[in-house]
Structure 1
Amino acid sequence: METVIQNTITNHKIMLDQHCKAIVGNQEMLARMIHEFVREARHLSVNEIMEIIKDEHRFKWLNNENMIPSYGTVKFDMFCCVDLPQLNGTNKQIYLNIEIQNNIHPGYSLVTRGIAYVLRILTTQWGVEYDDKNYDRMKKVYSLWIMPQATKRKDGDVDVYKVKKERGRMEKKKTKKIMTRKNLL
């Protein structure tokens, strides 16, 4: 009986994962997520973003298997690159990773895993987008994690993590050394 229950739970999670991917992969849903969470797209309407998604020159689904020799392979749920027109007439290309996470307590920090995924995407841009002569060509990465089985208390919550510069000042400690005949000997 335990095997039947375990198989049912496993099949339920697989089915939930597949349904979530189908919903998120829908052009309108994807356009709404990009509009809401990608800063470089907020000035665009959902319909404009949908048109970008339909254009294979401005929107590309990328290989979702990320392999780094000696470090292993990670399989992203959904991974794409979007070329977004900006108000100043330029285009801004971003990488977007979307993960459906059914287990909200996998035994490790999901935040740490999310950061690791972003770093992998940045690292694999080496030699494609940037190199040691021009780090400024590195493209921004967004990683959205959807948790369909989050608790009711967290339903609808959005947590945002970002790299942010903070400036502070180091205080120099002033120490006075009293010179005495004893210290000099």
Structure 2
Amino acid sequence: KTQLAKLIELTNDKAKYDAQVKKILANKAILAWILKTCTNEFSAFSPKEIISCIEGEPEISAISVHATDPDNEDQPDPPKQIQPKKSGEYDTLLYSDESITGSNTEDTGLKEQSIYYDIRFNVRVPTYETRTSIQMIINIEAQLDTYPGYPIEKRAIYYCCRLISAQYGTVFHKSEYGKMRKVYSIWICADPAKKRRNTIKRIRLEQSAVYGSLEDNPMDIDLIQAVIINLGDPHSTENPILRLMGVLLSDTIKVHEKKKIMEDEFHIAMTMELESEVSELCNLSEGVYKRGLSNGLEQGLERGIQGAVELLRESGIDDSTIINNIMKKYQLSLEEAQNYVYAANGKRS
């Protein structure tokens, strides 16, 4: 196979892996843990309770989401009366084959360029003291590119702003800014720089008094939060979301170990569907790793042969001798060896 063909295969494997990661992250049991550990509003609730707060009919498909009202503002659903769980108090295994609508969901606004969200959904935070509830919009992004060429923080902030601006004409109209919903954009970085591994960063709006005292409602300010989760070795952290995501996206932890950790530590029931998805993710991860390793080794071998040819030529050895030497050393055909040697002279056989 040509180098181009191998790169195309590797790219295709990566695309399948990316899609599978988003599919698993859209599982409600996984989302419940993300919401519990990354949002202030759900920190006191159990994952099972959080699942019931995720709104919408779950689907696993690419859906074009325009600026439509996610629910009826005039007739909100009755808030659920749920008592928060104490820290460490969980229900039995989380059974959920449901996934959120919106892998690669599109948000299109007037005179604004289309944006595709990995996962986007709505939640309603229940209250146990009053008959009111808080509605929020959540975006989950799987950042699998190690060096995208820009700060992830800036992109996360941009996504938050888009989630805010898209509410105009849907969640609120004209000057009804009081109806604006809080948004979260949560980024899971699978392979960050070494110094950032096993860290979580939160970016949010805050106010400070320039002059005088402030008595404003903090909820009127706290409308945007971006969370950057930088994964590392899941065995060297006690943080629950770093461990869960690290185990789930690891390319070295075997399927059976992932299942055991998810059930024993996170009480996520490995249903047939979820088990199949995790197994498929492991297979795709292994395929990407092997193709990438093979591709890298071949590129390294090619550079090594080129370096050997240059070194031999600088030593005054003639081309025919160099060809014979590299044929024996690297087990090349006559044509392959000639191409390496003649390429240095600017000509091919």
TM-score greater than 0.5 by the shorter chain: yes
In the alignment, structure 1 residue 8 sits paired with structure 2 residue 5 = no
Which secondary structure state, in structure 1, belongs to the residue aligned with residue 203 of structure 2? coil
Q: How much does 1:134 deviate?
A: 2.2
2:154 to 90, 112, 130: 112
**Contact (CA 8 Å) 2:28, 2:100: kept in 1 or not?**
no
Contiguous gaps of at least 5 residues in structure 2: 58-76, 80-98, 213-349
In the alignment, structure 1 residue 129 sits paired with structure 2 residue 171 = yes
Q: Which stretch of structure 1 is more off in the superposition, 101-110 or 77-86?
A: 101-110
Q: Which stretch of structure 1 is more off in the superposition, 82-91 or 36-45?
A: 82-91
Which secondary structure state, in structure 2, belongs to the residue aligned with residue 136 of structure 1? helix
1:70 to 111, 132, 142: 111
Distance 1:127 1:70, change over 3 A: closer
Deviations 1:81-118 (A, max 9, x none): 01110243321110000111121322222211111111
Q: How much does 1:18 deviate?
A: 1.7
Distance 1:139 1:68, change over 3 A: same
Q: Which stretch of structure 1 is more off in the superposition, 60-69 or 24-33?
A: 60-69
Question: What is the alpha-carbon root mean square deviation over aligned residues?
Answer: 2.6
Which secondary structure state, in structure 2, belongs to the residue aligned with residue 106 of structure 1? coil
**Contact (CA 8 Å) 2:56, 2:122: kept in 1 or not?**
no
In the alignment, structure 1 residue 150 sits paired with structure 2 residue 167 = no
**Contact (CA 8 Å) 2:54, 2:124: kept in 1 or not?**
no
Count of residue pairs brought into register by the alignment: 170
Deviations 1:143-177 (A, max 9, x none): 0111122245433321111111122359xxxxxxx
Distance 1:76 1:54, change over 3 A: closer
Aligned partner of 1:182 in structure 2 is none
Distance 1:155 1:22 in 2: 24
Q: Which stretch of structure 1 is more off in the superposition, 150-159 or 84-93?
A: 150-159
Which secondary structure state, in structure 1, belongs to the residue aligned with residue 29 of structure 2? helix
Which runs of at least 4 in structure 1 moved beyond 6 Å after TM superposition? 57-60
Q: How much does 1:7 deviate?
A: 1.5
Which secondary structure state, in structure 1, belongs to the residue aligned with residue 23 of structure 2? helix
Contiguous gaps of at least 5 residues in structure 1: 171-185
Aligned partner of 2:121 in structure 1 is 80
Greater radius of gyration (CA)? 2
Q: Which stretch of structure 1 is more off in the superposition, 148-157 or 82-91?
A: 148-157
In the alignment, structure 1 residue 168 sits paired with structure 2 residue 184 = no
TM-score w.r.t. length of structure 1: 0.79
Aligned partner of 1:177 in structure 2 is none
Distance 1:70 1:51, change over 3 A: closer
Distance 1:94 1:54, change over 3 A: closer
In the alignment, structure 1 residue 138 sits paired with structure 2 residue 183 = no
**Contact (CA 8 Å) 1:40, 1:84: kept in 2 or not?**
yes
Distance 1:143 1:75 in 2: 13
Which structure features the higher share of helix residues? Answer: 2
Amino acid at match of 1:126: Y
In the alignment, structure 1 residue 91 sits paired with structure 2 residue 92 = no
Q: Which stretch of structure 1 is more off in the superposition, 38-47 or 161-170?
A: 161-170
**Contact (CA 8 Å) 2:105, 2:118: kept in 1 or not?**
yes
Distance 1:169 1:55, change over 3 A: closer
Which structure features the higher share of strand residues? Answer: 1
Aligned partner of 1:46 in structure 2 is 47
Q: How much does 1:127 deviate?
A: 1.8
Which secondary structure state, in structure 2, belongs to the residue aligned with residue 82 of structure 1? strand
Distance 2:51 2:3 in 1: 46
Q: Which stretch of structure 1 is more off in the superposition, 145-154 or 32-41?
A: 145-154
Which secondary structure state, in structure 2, belongs to the residue aligned with residue 133 of structure 1? coil
Distance 1:78 1:21 in 2: 7
Distance 1:60 1:129 in 2: 20
What is the percentage of aligned positions where both structures have the same residue? Answer: 26
